[in-house]
């Protein structure tokens, strides 16, 4: 296949760009090697292609959000989830206090307010906080097709400084959006963000979204096609935060970024894409990752609004 050579060439083209910076509000991420660079594709028929540091592990961070949202929809149903978390783009940064003024309902599940609420909607009604975390790790693992684990040092590094997420959780508790103690809610959400993945794992996870919720490697159904449609729609409108409009016009695939430098995109019926490069732009999106995605969708004619 010409794909691995193509991936290697594109990585080489973006490699010199040193702009941006690693996230500094999580000390463990600030220390990450900023030069690492990887890309991987997973087709819906189960081929994985990769180049660069594609088996290096890093924390999933906000890329967990669409998957946790999918699990919450599967576990609790659309009505119960929509009652607590809306699906409107906020136009705000990922850690903004974006809630509806009257109800306190977070605007969408991709920003932190919505993701903390979404985490609390995973697992069956009445699940304990530990059961919810276990459900999320099991679910993320099913999307990846292998057993994933939490990086405890990333978890502790983030939770010590999670004042902003705690204030979001307090606000959600005050509005009865979450029923948990706010500290417990933030702990569960932060554990979800601390799950270790590789670029290849992320490509398979995105490939599962591209493949109607069936993992292309294991053949196992993880969530329904309806859940995937909802999840990809929310990624398309809200996945890149206040950069979402620029992303959709320029790159044209539903996507999600994480502050450790990961980035995923899913083209329905075709392919899951993942990149990794830790230096971030001012929105918290990977600089070289965005460049790679722009090149991929242009070179391969993947923009969703373009007739193939």
User: In the 8-state DSSP scheme, what is residue 243?
Assistant: G
- Mark 75-94 with x for binding to ligand GLN (rule: CB under 6 A) and - for no binding: -------------------x
- Distance CA(261)–CA(306), nearest Å, equals 28
Of 66 and 284, the one with the shorter C-beta distance to ligand GLN is: 284
**Sequence-ordered strand ranges (E) for 76-200:** 196-197
User: Would you say 14 is a known binding-site residue?
Assistant: no
C-alpha 100: how far from chain center: 23
Residue 232 CB, nearest distance to ligand GLN (Å)? 19
* Backbone phi, psi, residue 224, to 5°: -80, 165
User: Would you say 98 is a known binding-site residue?
Assistant: no
Q: List the beta bridge partners of residue 280.
A: 21, 286
Indicate whether 259 belongs to the interface with ligand GLN (CB under 6 A): yes
User: In the 8-state DSSP scheme, what is residue 261?
Assistant: S
User: Quick one: tokens of 244?
Assistant: 């979402």
- Mark 266-285 with x for binding to ligand GLN (rule: CB under 6 A) and - for no binding: ------------------x-
- Distance CA(18)–CA(287), nearest Å, equals 9
Of 43, 50, 61, 231, the residue at the interface with ligand GLN (CB under 6 A) is 61
- Whether 155 is a known active-site residue: answer no
Indicate whether 240 belongs to the interface with ligand GLN (CB under 6 A): no
Residue 258 CB, nearest distance to ligand GLN (Å)? 4
User: Which of the residues 213 through 232 are near ligand GLN (CB under 6 A)?
Assistant: none
Residue 254 to residues 57, 67, 250, 295: CA-CA distances in angstroms?
Answer: 23, 13, 12, 15
Residue numbering of the annotated binding site for substrate = 62, 112, 158, 165, 189, 241, 259
Annotated catalytic sites, by residue? 62, 65, 189, 241, 259
> What is the contact surface with ligand GLN in residues (CB under 6 A)?
61-62, 94-95, 112, 158, 165, 193, 258-259, 284
């Amino acid at each position: 296949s010409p794909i691995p050579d193509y991936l290697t060439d594109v990585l080489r083209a973006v490699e010199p760009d040193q702009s941006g910076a690693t996230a500094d509000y999580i000390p463990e991420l600030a220390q990450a090697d900023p030069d690492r660079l990887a890309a991987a594709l997973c087709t819906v028929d189960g081929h994985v292609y990769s180049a660069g540091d594609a088996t290096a592990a890093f924390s999933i961070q906000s890329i967990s959000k669409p998957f946790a949202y999918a699990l919450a929809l599967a576990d609790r149903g659309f009505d119960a989830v929509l009652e607590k978390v809306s699906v409107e783009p906020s136009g705000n940064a990922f850690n903004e206090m974006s809630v509806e003024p009257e109800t306190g309902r977070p605007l969408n599940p991709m920003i932190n307010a919505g993701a903390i609420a979404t985490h609390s909607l995973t697992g069956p009604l009445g699940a304990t906080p530990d059961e919810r975390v276990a459900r999320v790790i099991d679910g993320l693992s099913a999307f990846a097709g292998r057993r994933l684990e939490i990086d405890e040092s990333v978890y502790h590094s983030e939770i010590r400084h999670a004042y902003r997420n705690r204030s979001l959780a307090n606000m959600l508790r005050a509005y009865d959006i979450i029923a948990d103690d706010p500290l417990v809610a933030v702990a569960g959400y932060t554990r979800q963000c601390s799950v270790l993945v590789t670029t290849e794992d992320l490509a398979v996870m995105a490939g599962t979204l591209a493949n109607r919720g069936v993992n292309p490697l294991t053949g196992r159904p993880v969530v329904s096609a309806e859940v995937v449609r909802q999840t990809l729609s929310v990624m398309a409108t809200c996945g890149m935060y206040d950069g979402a409009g620029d992303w959709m016009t320029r790159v044209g695939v539903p996507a999600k970024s994480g502050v450790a430098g990961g980035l995923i995109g899913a083209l329905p019926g075709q392919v899951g894409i993942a990149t990794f490069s830790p230096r971030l732009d001012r929105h918290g999106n990977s600089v070289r990752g965005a460049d790679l995605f722009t090149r991929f969708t242009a070179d391969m004619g993947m923009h969703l609004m373009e007739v193939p």
